[in-house]
Amino acid sequence: MIELSIAGGVAEIVLNAPEKLNSLNEAALGELSAAYDEAAEGAAAGAVRALLLRGEGRAFCAGRDIAGVEAATDDVSGYLDGLLAPLMKKMAAFPAPTFAAAHGACLGVGLGLLVATDVVYVAENAKIGSPFANLGATLDSGGHWLFTERLGTHRALDLIYTAELISGAEAVASGLFSRAKPAEELLDFTRAAAAKAAGGPTRAFIASKTLVAQIRDRRLGLWDAVVLENEAQAALSKTADYAEGFAAFTAKRKPGFTGK
């Protein structure tokens, strides 16, 4: 159900099981992990300089595929700790800018895939939230972190207790994700953003990606962050793209970045 294509420096990964709203079982998580591995190999070879993740059909991803799962024998830890968490870490560490185009249901594991993506664009009418109260379960896949970090404790628990879903437009207005677009414009907009990033200074983007993760995870103060920025800039000054950027600025032309 997972498809990967590479063209124009962009790896596009598609969740393609529309009949079940792209819900993911153990096998599908394995396929998705393998797709990211293959895309990362392309990045190492210089063929991939951005990645786009999307879902086929009416939804991005409705969460875990629990069809046939028996509660009494469900290996929750094996699914979440053994498969999903390592996949999310792999996604977050992908060596190029990553984008997601999210429409329809973005729930549970689907929400986790968005947490692990650099830039998330959502359809204005997407459905986001925590329906787990209806299952006697709790929000997982990094959802507690996302809601608490971006919405605050009261709104986070409100969404969890009520199991109400919010629209993509409200999610963006609340600071959950980057931009909301009409559903019919979402994919083209995201593809254009990924293509633009693929033509940019990849190593500079990776430096910023690393810095943002450090500021978030280590709760860095201003001056600690400045130290890391200065170190990153000094390292970038020795790259080909840095030299090209300055040369293009001096010559008043568009830079031709190679990602090196």
pLDDT category, 257, cuts 50, 70, 90?
A: very high
pLDDT category, 205, cuts 50, 70, 90?
A: very high
pTM of the predicted structure, to 2 decimals:
0.95
Q: Residue 40 in contact with residue 1, Cβ under 8 Å?
A: no
Which residue is it, tokens 């429409």?
A: 103
**Order of all β-strands in the sheet with 119-123:** 2-7, 10-15, 50-55, 98-102, 119-123, 179-181
Residues 6+ apart with CB under 8 A from 118: 97, 98, 99, 209
Cα–Cα dist 146/20, whole Å = 25
Fold agreement between 2-198 and 202-251: no
Q: Tell me what percent of the residues of the chain surpass a pLDDT of 90.
A: 94
Write down the domain spans for the chain. Answer: 2-198, 202-251
pLDDT at 69 over 90: no
Q: What secondary structure, in 3-state letters, does the chain show?
A: CEEEEEECCEEEEEECCHHHCCCECHHHHHHHHHHHHHHHHHHHCCCCCEEEEEECCCCCECCECCCCCCHHHCCHHHHHHHHHHHHHHHHHCCCCCEEEEECCEEECHHHHHHHCCCEEEEECCCEEECHHHHHCCCCCCCHHHHHHHHHCHHHHHHHHHHCCEEEHHHHHHCCCCCEEECHHHHHHHHHHHHHHHHCCCHHHHHHHHHHHHHHHHHCCCHHHHHHHHHHHHHHHCCCHHHHHHHHHHHHCCCCCCCCC
pLDDT, one tens digit per residue, over 211-231 is 999 999 999 999 999 999 999
**Largest separation between any pair of C-alpha atoms in the chain:** 68
Mean of per-residue pLDDT scores for the chain: 96
pLDDT category, 67, cuts 50, 70, 90?
A: confident
Predicted pLDDT of residue 72: 80
Domain 2-198 matching CATH 3.30.565.10: the answer reads no
Residues 6+ apart with CB under 8 A from 159: 129, 130, 147, 151, 166
Tell me the fold of 202-251.
Lyase 2-enoyl-coa Hydratase; Chain  A, domain 2 (1.10.12)
pLDDT, one tens digit per residue, over 143-195 is 999 999 999 999 999 999 999 999 999 999 999 999 999 999 999 999 999 99
pLDDT, one tens digit per residue, over 50-61 is 999 999 999 999
And the tokens for 237? 């000054």
Neighbours of 29 (CB within 10 A): 20
Predicted pLDDT of residue 11: 98
Cα–Cα dist 241/256, whole Å = 8
pLDDT, one tens digit per residue, over 85-121 is 999 999 999 999 999 999 999 999 999 999 999 999 9
Predicted pLDDT of residue 68: 81
Q: Residue 97 in contact with residue 205, Cβ under 8 Å?
A: yes
For β-strands 127-129 and 105-107, DSSP reports them as parallel
Average pLDDT over residues 38-42: 98
